[in-house]
Amino acid sequence: MGSDIRLIVEAPLLADLPAPHEATEIQRRYIEDFARRLSRFRPDSELCALNGDQHETVSASGLLRAAVSAGVWAAWRSEGLVDPTLLGEIEAAGYAESHDGREPASLREALAAGPALRVARAHPDERWKAIEVDERRGTVRRPPGVGIDTGGTGKGLAADAVAHRLRSYTRYVVDCGGDIAVGGVGAQLEPFEIEVEHPLTGESVHAFRVCGGGIATSGLNVRIWRREDGSFAHHLLDPCSGEPVWSGLIGATALAPSALEAETLTKIALLSGPMGARRALAEHGGLIVHNDGDVELVGPRDERCVTASLTGRAA
């Protein structure tokens, strides 16, 4: 996963549940197992086994089926913009190996180079629609040669999965590399304040009060590198061209009923540019960061107007 994981767990609702410190250890091991089995950088992972299998239909564990289903759901939710079948394209763009521990290229320099601004479009072939997950038979079916990358939805899915496992605790935060799930009856009464980090300055630019559901941030400042020809590339690709997209935005934060949906919305926002981002974030709220560093709040911010599970306010 290549990310920091942070868990905050308060008292259990039932006396026979593990104490919070035991629960966090159990969930930490679960996340480590989750990351190990679904990493596309580990040859022994279940995901790599799936992508390396030449058969059209492959047996898959419940976790792998869930991860593939999440990727397909994100593609459906984004109308093909967040496409899990871009494995070959992301490797060709220079992200075939993990960048964990590697210093990212300078986003400021990348922006100063003046990349052409455009928004992403879904691939007309819609390869993701050919992926089928059969829960009854325990299989994943996809056309041979179509590689699947669950990285675009993995952290959100992991946060939601752990949140589900912690649902019998009064108040908790599951932070999987910035994709955060919040829950517990206590959080309804006393929401968590989640701060948003600016992708250029690293400063907190806003705080959302979240009493349940998910919040996620995506940006161009971490998974960014220089190619051999000197050009800059990052990990958010246009499904149509297979190339990194410079849409006019360098960061997006989204609120949603789940961390998975929040993560998906941030990617839709970044791939769609300012206009599309405002539409994507209008329902649940969030913020976008423009190329010049300006921060723009989007969607409902009045606590009386937002959805029942999420509240936002200015810092």
Partner 1 sequence: MATAATAAVMTTDQVTGSRGRRRERHPLLGAFPLSVLTLATFLVVLAVLAARLQSGSDPALSAFAGKPEKAARQVLVRRVYERVVVVHLPASAPAQSGSSSQQVSSEGAGAASAAPVTRTS
Would you tell me which residues interact with partner 1 (CB under 8 A)? Answer: 1-11, 19-21, 23-25, 28, 31-32, 35-36, 39, 41-42, 44, 97-101, 155, 173, 175, 177-180, 192-197, 199, 204, 207, 215-223, 251, 253
**Least distance (Å) from partner 1 to the CB of residue 294?**
17
Q: Is the dihedral of CA 204, 159, 302, 278 positive or negative?
A: positive
**Least distance (Å) from partner 1 to the CB of residue 202?**
8
Nearer to partner 1, 73 or 95 (CB): 95
Nearer to partner 1, 57 or 98 (CB): 98
**Least distance (Å) from partner 1 to the CB of residue 134?**
28
**Least distance (Å) from partner 1 to the CB of residue 252?**
10
Nearer to partner 1, 218 or 272 (CB): 218
User: Alpha-carbon distance 217 to 225, whole Å?
Assistant: 19
Contact, 265 vs 281, CB < 8 A?
A: yes
Q: Which of 110, 96, 84 shows the shortest CA–CA distance to 43?
A: 96
**Least distance (Å) from partner 1 to the CB of residue 42?**
6
User: Alpha-carbon distance 266 to 119, whole Å?
Assistant: 14
Contact, 48 vs 98, CB < 8 A?
A: no
Nearer to partner 1, 134 or 195 (CB): 195
Contact, 314 vs 193, CB < 8 A?
A: no
**Least distance (Å) from partner 1 to the CB of residue 276?**
19
Nearer to partner 1, 80 or 312 (CB): 312
209 Cβ contact partners less than 8 Å away, ≥ 6 residues apart? 191, 192, 193, 194, 303, 311, 312, 313
**Least distance (Å) from partner 1 to the CB of residue 229?**
25
Contact, 86 vs 149, CB < 8 A?
A: yes
Nearer to partner 1, 120 or 254 (CB): 254
Nearer to partner 1, 123 or 198 (CB): 198
**2 — alpha (psi -120 to 50), left (phi > 0) or beta?**
left
Angle at 145 between CA 46 and CA 131, to 5 degrees: 70
